[in-house]
Structure formats: C-alpha cells, structure tokens
C-alpha cells in the first residue's frame, strides 16, 4: 500500500518506518526542512531504541522515503496519516488543532482520487467531523473516508508497541475503509492483539480516556506514597500488593516524580476542556491534573527537608533529565519545574543525561551538563536520581560518594534502602 505520514515526529517517524518494514511504500513528510534533510542523510532526529537501524534498512530497500513536498506525497498515496502535534493551547487548555487543519487543507488541495485520511494525532472528539467537512470542498471532487486510528505507542518502547500492540483501534462507519485498514494492520495483528472497530468519535475518545486513566493510576500511587512516607510503610509493597489483583494490574503503579512527557499532561488538560464544552464535569481527571501539578511542590519541600533547608550554594546533581528512560523527550519533564525552583533558592545544578545536553536547560544560569556520571557527581552535595535509565541501576554509589555527607534522593526507588543504610549512605526514596 502507498502510505503518506504527515508529520515526521515521534509518531509519524516510528509508525511510518514500521509500516514500511511490513512491506508498504511509505513517504514521511514534514514542514521542518532541517529534519527531512537530516533524515535523508541518515541522521535520526529522535532517540528511540532500534529506530535508526530500521530506518536505514527500509531506506536501503526502497520502501521508506522522506520529503518536504507534502502535496506530491499526498497525491501519490492511498492512505494519508495525519501525525502532526496537538499541543496544549495555553489560553484555553484545549488541544491546539492548528497543525491538524493545516495538514487537512493540504490534503484538500491534493485529493486527486479516493483516499483514506487517518488521524493518528491525538485529537478531540468531533475533529474527524471537522476534517470531513473541510475535505468536502476538495477541488477534484474526489471521494474519501476520514477515520480515526489513535496511536498508543510509548516513547522508549515505540517500535515494540507498534509492532506488538495490545490493540489497534479504528473508528469509521465506512466498510471500505475498515477493510483496507484491517489489511494494512494484518501483519501485526497477533493472537494477543485485538483489532477493535468503533465509531470515529468513539476512537477519538478512547485515546483520551486511556491516557487520562493511566495518569490517574500514576497520581493515585503518588498520593499514596505521600501517606507511606509519614506512616513507615514501603510504597513498593503497596504497588506489588495492589498490582497482583488482576482487576488493578501492576503497570503504571510505581511512585515517582509525577507524570510528564508529550502526552499525559496535555491530554488530561484537553479531555477536561473537551468535556466542559459538552457541559460535563470530569472531576476525577481535574483532580489528577491538580495532584500532578502539586507533585513538584511536594518533591521540592522534601528536597529542602532532607537538605535541612541548606541548598544555597550547594551542588545538586540530577541523574537523567528526560521525563522517563529511553527517550530524549524533555516535554513537561518533572525536572523542568524542580531545577528552576532550586536555582531560585541558590543551588548549583549539575546534570548528566544519557541523550546529551538539553536545550531546555541551557537558558538557566548555574545549570551545567556533565559528560558522565562520575563527572556529574564530583563534589555533589545532593544526588537526585531523576530518570530510571538502566545505566543508573547498577551504580557503585559507595565508590561514587566519597564524602559521607552526600545525600541520595532516589525519585525512582531503584535502590534498596536497607543496602544503602548498610553502606552508610544517606538515602531517601519516594514513599518509603
């Protein structure tokens, strides 16, 4: 099948490459000239395990192309995937659909024959209806189907999630489009994968409710961690004990610095705003948003408490800056709130991040990137394990921490408090 991915970011690039890998001819397009130029020279703009090799293999086999010529790519394809960003509109908290409609207008002027237009971007309920009405005025008077096929991949595990998904959700009334989508996904629909078809609006909502539910799980366990901290209970035991109940499940039940990234924060805000439009109060999701926003204040207070309020001129080292491991994505990473607050209190920040220095942290005075863990931890007064990268899981902390006064604050509960105590390390985790 000839596919066009509009938007070559985390979703467009990964899903386009995976579709090429199962035998389709895919052209990934983007308005970002630099990105496309880099991709055409073999430079992958994001960090995603396994992606570089897959991109190169599919380019070499002639199934995967990159281009800035959006119009030509649309004209020569049968299925067009809209994979552009839908960030928060800061004024309204709704999803900003500017890029989606820009892409739709491009499709409208290049709809030279029947095509399926698929929204893979996370879009509010009724966006498909709006796209459909824009396309009605296409100059070739071509037929088309607008369907919703939300993407559930997780950064850091994106290829695996795309190739072995729990479910593929397709929202459409069109039998023809459904048949084509089913055949497109056939090679990756395994015994464990359910191909679920529903209405277009239903598919749009499934994506938002899934993210809102996962965000709720995270915020729930984070609040329980606060309770554990003051009642001498280990939150890890609570997570395991609860997670063993199959109705609950163990995933997304690990206490930490709060959810971040490019999806949960913006999608929780967007679903609440969308519901308001329909005069529905999603009070639970609203509380989750507030709870997560409050998380950084709780963590900051905890840092001050364990440092006995002495952070002025102290060196605080962050291990990991991204919002989670195995990605270079800094969008809404918890450290983006913690670091400025600590600088304000006079701290000096050093950080090591496996995917390199971050432009988001460049603007701050007194924030310096270190090239490795030992460089970053040199002379540190407080060591914060912020992201659960594998390379932070086996550190010889006793060797790293030569000065006995160094405090370790493990925001991912990687290490055992008992072992740390045995080694004479001043160690704090989350909820234990």
Member of 67, 89, 102, 174 binding ligand NAD (CB under 6 A): 102
Count of CB atoms within 10 A of residue 432's CB?
19
Q: Whose CA is closest to 380, among 409, 340, 356, 349?
A: 349
Q: At what angle do helices 200-231 and 127-135 cross, to 10 degrees?
A: 150
Examine residue 128 and tell whether it contacts ligand NAD (CB under 6 A): no
8 A C-beta contact, residue 397 and residue 415 = yes
Residue 123 CB, nearest distance to ligand NAD (Å)?
7
8 A C-beta contact, residue 204 and residue 123 = yes
8 A C-beta contact, residue 330 and residue 295 = no
Examine residue 32 and tell whether it contacts ligand NAD (CB under 6 A): yes
Residue 210 CB, nearest distance to ligand NAD (Å)?
10
Question: Hey, which residues between 223 and 242 contact ligand NAD (CB under 6 A)?
Answer: none
Nearer of residues 95 and 339 to ligand NAD, judged by Cβ: 95
Nearer of residues 21 and 332 to ligand NAD, judged by Cβ: 332
Examine residue 83 and tell whether it contacts ligand NAD (CB under 6 A): yes
8 A C-beta contact, residue 242 and residue 314 = no
Place of tokens 């965000």: 215
Segment near ligand NAD (CB under 6 A), from 6-14, 221-229, 350-358, 375-383? 6-14
Examine residue 262 and tell whether it contacts ligand NAD (CB under 6 A): yes
Examine residue 16 and tell whether it contacts ligand NAD (CB under 6 A): no
Examine residue 7 and tell whether it contacts ligand NAD (CB under 6 A): yes
8 A C-beta contact, residue 383 and residue 403 = no
Beta bridge partners of 116: 79, 145
Member of 103, 214, 325, 406 binding ligand NAD (CB under 6 A): 103
Question: Hey, which residues between 272 and 311 contact ligand NAD (CB under 6 A)?
Answer: none
Nearer of residues 188 and 300 to ligand NAD, judged by Cβ: 188
Compute CA distances 253 → 160, 190, 212, 237, 241, whole Å. Answer: 21, 27, 14, 11, 11
Per DSSP, the three-state class of 408 is strand
Examine residue 36 and tell whether it contacts ligand NAD (CB under 6 A): no
Residue 98 CB, nearest distance to ligand NAD (Å)?
8
DSSP state of 95: B
- Altogether, the residues listed in the chain come to a count of 432
Residue 246 CB, nearest distance to ligand NAD (Å)?
26
Q: In 307-416, where does DSSP find H-type helix?
A: 335-344, 359-362, 373-377, 397-400
Compute CA distances 311 → 29, 70, 375, whole Å. Answer: 47, 52, 20
Examine residue 353 and tell whether it contacts ligand NAD (CB under 6 A): no
Check if 83 is active-site: no
Member of 24, 58, 86, 326 binding ligand NAD (CB under 6 A): 86
Beta bridge partners of 349: 316, 367
Nearer of residues 10 and 428 to ligand NAD, judged by Cβ: 10
Catalytic residue among 18, 83, 228, 263: 263
Examine residue 328 and tell whether it contacts ligand NAD (CB under 6 A): no
d(CA 109, CA 237): 58
Examine residue 99 and tell whether it contacts ligand NAD (CB under 6 A): yes
Closest residue by beta carbon to ligand NAD = 9
Active site residues: 263
Report the interface residues with ligand NAD, using CB under 6 A: 6-12, 29-32, 35, 70, 83-86, 99, 102-103, 121-122, 151, 153, 155, 262-263
């Amino acid at each position: 099948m000839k596919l066009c991915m509009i938007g070559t970011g985390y979703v467009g690039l990964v899903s386009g490459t995976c579709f090429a890998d199962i035998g389709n001819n895919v052209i990934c397009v983007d308005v970002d000239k630099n990105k496309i130029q880099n991709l055409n020279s073999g430079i992958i703009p994001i960090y995603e395990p396994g992606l570089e090799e897959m991109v190169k293999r599919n380019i070499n086999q002639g199934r995967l192309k990159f281009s800035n010529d959006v119009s030509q790519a649309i004209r020569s394809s049968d299925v067009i995937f809209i994979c552009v960003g839908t960030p928060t509109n800061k004024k309204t908290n709704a999803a900003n659909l500017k890029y989606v409609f820009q892409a739709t207008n491009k499709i409208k002027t290049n709809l030279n024959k029947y095509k399926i237009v698929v929204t893979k971007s996370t879009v509010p309920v009724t966006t498909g209806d709006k796209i459909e009405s824009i396309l009605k005025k296409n100059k070739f008077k071509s037929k088309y189907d607008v369907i919703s096929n939300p993407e559930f991949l997780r950064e850091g595990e994106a290829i695996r999630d795309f190739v072995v998904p729990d479910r593929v959700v397709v929202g459409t009334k069109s039998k023809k489009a459904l048949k084509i989508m089913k055949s497109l996904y056939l090679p990756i629909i395994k015994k464990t994968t359910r191909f679920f078809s529903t209405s277009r609006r239903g598919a749009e909502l499934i994506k938002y409710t899934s993210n809102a539910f996962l965000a709720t799980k995270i915020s729930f366990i984070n609040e329980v961690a606060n309770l554990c901290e003051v009642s001498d209970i280990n939150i890890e035991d609570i997570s395991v004990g609860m997670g063993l109940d199959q109705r609950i499940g163990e995933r997304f039940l690990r206490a930490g610095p709060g959810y971040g990234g490019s999806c949960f924060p913006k999608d929780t805000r967007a679903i609440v705003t969308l519901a308001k439009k329909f005069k529905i109060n999603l009070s639970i999701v609203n509380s989750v948003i507030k709870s997560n926003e409050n998380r950084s204040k709780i963590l900051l207070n905890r840092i001050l408490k364990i440092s006995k309020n002495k952070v002025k001129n102290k060196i605080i080292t962050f291990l990991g800056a991204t919002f989670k491991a195995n990605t270079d994505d800094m969008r809404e990473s918890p450290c983006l709130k913690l670091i400025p607050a600590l600088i304000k209190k006079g701290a000096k920040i050093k950080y090591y991040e496996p995917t390199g220095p971050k432009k988001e942290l460049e603007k701050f005075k007194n924030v310096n990137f270190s090239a490795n863990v030992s460089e970053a931890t040199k002379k540190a007064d407080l060591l914060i394990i912020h992201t659960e990268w594998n390379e932070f899981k086996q550190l010889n902390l006793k060797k790293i921490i030569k000065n006995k006064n160094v405090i370790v604050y493990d925001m991912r509960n990687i290490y055992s408090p008992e072992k740390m105590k045995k080694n004479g390390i001043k160690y704090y985790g989350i909820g234990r």
